[in-house]
Every structure is written in structure tokens, then in C-alpha cells.
Structure 1
């Protein structure tokens, strides 16, 4: 009888221990799943260069991909280049947004990233920004960027154009993190090499010298006169007595509203739109 009671107590003790252990395992699994769900994405799940249109050689593609990866990981913001043969009936804007959303791009909790799309069918381009990139790449900033890299792409120098795009993305991201994002009132200023300063001075002096000589030659016909009367051409001065009589006066007036004399200043910042997946994007598009 005592042995039976001892066995029952042993079984109950083992059952209690198993229940405690299983409860702890459930808590650990829940905690690990919660931790994974709240962790920001550390790496992009898509390749940052997708040259589906075949615009780059193997060496150019390897060099550009290394540049995009280095900038993206250092800035913690995906910098992406995508080339396609056709937009499959979509607009360049919607194609770029969907490509970003459905291919796992974007770093951090907000999915920070910028994507440049080229479509060769009708020579369309588009930029799609997401997360912090919407702040870093304002509308005015994107206009500045395209002015500086699209000329290479229009001329068929795709590797140089993409490289310039990547360099500008790096510059704009650094500016946005360390100060105010580049915008209408603080776009990058062009720099002039020091060697051009003395050359510009010499050219200016030469131009000024020849202009002065030309004016000097035209003054050789002028002769000094003895008195002021000598400067008067005979018969050219005729004095007449005139009178002006004011008959009436009309005064018209009107109210000037503030809209009449206010200038239309273009605002800064980034315009946004919603993609087909419901994500908020900034960006721009056009032809090259």
C-alpha cells in the first residue's frame, strides 16, 4: 500500500514538473517571437542592382553593386537601381513604387530607401522614396539630382549616370542626417577649381583693356573748346514762350488686395502619394 502511494506521489511530482517546464517553453517562444517582430530589418531582401534591360557590362554591374551596397549599409537606407525593358502597361511612378514594395526593399522600422527606375521602351525614368528617404530627398532635391545625372543616361553613359546618382544619394542622406535636408533654399552650391581664378582674372583684364582702347579711339574727334558758347551749333537754339493751363484733373483709385502684390513662392518639402499596396511614397518621374 505504501509503495502504491509513493508511486502516485512520484507520478504527480513528474507531471507537475512537466507542466512547469512546458509553461516556461511557451513563454520563451512568445518572447522570442515578439522580439523578432519588433526588431528592425537589418538587411535588404532584394538586390540593390537589377539590370534587367542589360545596360551594364559585368564589370560595370559589379562595381556599381558594390557602391550601392556600401552606401546603403553605411547610411542604413537602401539605394537601388532598376532597369527594365518595359513598364507592362503601368506608369513609371507606379512601377517603381510596386517594385520597391514587393521586392523587400527598405531598411529600418520605416523601410528607408530610394529606388531609381529606367524603362527603355519609351525612355521613362522614375524615383521612388520611402521612409526617411522621403524627408532626405525633397522635390527640389530630386530636381537637382536629375539635372546632374540624367544627362549621362540620355547620352547612353549608363554606368557614369548610375554612379553619379549613387554619389548624390550619399551626399543627400548625409546632409539630411547632419543638418537640414537639401531643399529649395539650400541646394548644393557648385564649386570652382582654384586654378580657374587667376585665369578668369587675366581674361577679364584683357577684355577690359580692349574695350577701353575702343572707346578711346572713338573720342579722338573731340576737341577742347574755349568757351561754353563754342559748343552751341548756330541756329540750333530757339527759345519760345509757352504757357500750360490746367483745365481739369481726374483721380482714379482702387483697392489693392494682398493677392495682387504677393509673389507666388514655391513651397519646399516632399510631395507624397500612396502606392497600390497602401504604402506612402515620395518621388518624381519623366523622360530621358
Structure 2
């Protein structure tokens, strides 16, 4: 009897935890595979409640500004549970059935985080697929992964905003980032300054330590002082070939996509629109 009760309780918990995730995707559009005619939610929805209120508001203001300036929806959503959906399908469904996407092509992309399974997914549609191609989604994940893994969610999402804007601007120039035109990861100025100061301090300590060990040695101005007369006599001179050792290393060709260690490339559709992106664990 106790086992039956435990199973029923676990099932109830799973159903209850799935309700908020399912509520994020309007069933009236999902059941008919229809793209919602207008945007139904803000561009930042922290359903998992992993951000302080001020941080959520700041991110929303930032993503609204980027989206409206470039006419491309940049969306972020966090959930406690995926409600039984695969992470890539959840992200696509969330974007389409909540009416995200700007212009006739429904241009944009969404970054989704699921806390119970520690899944992420970045899904792009319309011009978003050109902006974040396979290389771009890999680069984005590589830049965010460390912060996501460490629980520094605001820092990760701040990078999402920065990288999205950078990639959009480069695409607008007609030179989207790709495996042959790579973006550069950004280091915080404080890290650079700290590395320089730390390197200088360590170098000074090491040099002073070595110098202290050589106080009994005085500098000589010629090599003769270091040679003992008649101490070296060469009696036999010959060259012997001992052996030959050859090693070969196969060089794999580049796949044209970074970030593969953290996820996989996915393709699918929701609401009659095609999507491409990358999903994985953090």
C-alpha cells in the first residue's frame, strides 16, 4: 500500500510541475499547429524564478531595445519543467504559439533553460537562422556555458544579449559570422588587468628568488675563467647512426561548428515555420 501511495504521489508531483510549462504554450494554437497572430508574452519570461526582479526587468528592457531596433525578436524563457516535451520542441513551440517573430518571415530566436533536467536550447527561425547558423549557435553556447554551469544565470543571459546584438549587426553588414568569419569572445576588462598585475607580481617574486641564490657568484668577463687547462682531450671521433623513429598523426577536417561538446544541432518546425538550433545539458 505504501508503494502504491508513493507512486501516486510521484505522479501527482510530475503532473503539477508540468502544468506551468504547459501553460506557457497556448493550447488553442498548439493543438492546430497555428502560429499565434500576435505576440502574447514579453520577450523575457523567468518562469523558473532564477533571476531577481531587477535583473529580469533589465534584461527585458535590453532585449526589447535590440528586437525593436533591428526588427528581429530576441527571446529568453526559463522553466522548471518541460512538461514532457523535448527541449528543442519546447523552445520552438513556445516561440511559435506565443506569436514571437517579426516581419513576414517571423524572424527571431529564443534561448530556453529548463531547470529540472538542466537542459538548454537555442532555436532560430526566419532571418534568425542566417544570423545564428550552426557556427553561431555553437559560439553562443561556448560563451554562455561556464556561467550556466556555475549558476551565474544573469551573467549568461547578459552574454546572450551582447552576442545576439553583435551577430545581428554583423549579419546586417552582409558578413554574418561563420566558420570562416569567426566572432571573438570577449574578456572582462577586470580579468585582463588582473592577469597583467598577477603576472608582473609572480615574475618579480621568481626573479628575486633566483637572484638571491646567486649572491656568491661574481660576473666574469671571459670564458677562460671557466675552463680548466688540459682538462678536455678528444682521443676518438666518430658518428654512429642509432635508430629512426617516425610518428604519424591524422588531422581531422573541421566540421565548421564549435560548441559541439555541449550540445547537438537540431532542425524542426512549429506553427508551419522551420527552425534550426542547438540543444544540450548545462
TM-score range, shorter chain: 0.5 to 0.7
Label 1:122 to 1:218 Cα distance change in 2 as closer, same or farther (>3 A): farther
Aligned mates of 2:215, 2:117 — CA distance in 1 = 60
Note the C-alpha offset of 1:267. 2.4
The match for 1:206 is 204
Note the C-alpha offset of 1:262. 6.8
Instruction: Give the 3-state SS of the residue equivalent to 2:275 in structure 1.
Output: strand
The match for 2:128 is 133
Q: Which moved more, 1:152-161 or 1:166-175?
A: 152-161
The match for 2:30 is none
The match for 1:68 is 63
Give per-residue Cα distances to partners, 1:217-263, cap 9 Å, x unaligned. 8988x983798972416xxx55389999xxxxxxxxxxxxxxx9775
Unaligned runs of 5+ in 1: 1-40, 245-259
Unaligned runs of 5+ in 2: 1-35, 242-248, 259-264
Match of 2:141 among 138, 146, 161: 146
The 5-angstrom pairing of residues 103-142 of structure 1 reads 103-142=98-137
Label 1:206 to 1:266 Cα distance change in 2 as closer, same or farther (>3 A): same
The match for 1:54 is 49
What's the C-alpha RMSD, in Å, of the aligned pairs? 4.2
The 5-angstrom pairing of residues 31-110 of structure 1 reads 44-110=39-105
The 5-angstrom pairing of residues 211-250 of structure 1 reads 213=211, 224=224, 230-232=230-232, 238-239=235-236
Q: Which moved more, 1:129-138 or 1:140-149?
A: 140-149
8 Å contact 1:42–1:108 — kept in the other structure? no
The match for 2:256 is 267
Note the C-alpha offset of 1:61. 2.5
8 Å contact 2:96–2:270 — kept in the other structure? no
Aligned mates of 2:140, 2:72 — CA distance in 1 = 17
The match for 1:14 is none
**Does 1:174 pair with 2:169?**
yes
8 Å contact 1:115–1:127 — kept in the other structure? yes
TM-score normalised to the size of structure 1? Answer: 0.63
Instruction: Give the 3-state SS of the residue equivalent to 2:236 in structure 1.
Output: coil
TM-score normalised to the size of structure 2? Answer: 0.64
8 Å contact 1:67–1:166 — kept in the other structure? yes
Instruction: Give the 3-state SS of the residue equivalent to 2:253 in structure 1.
Output: coil
Aligned length: 230
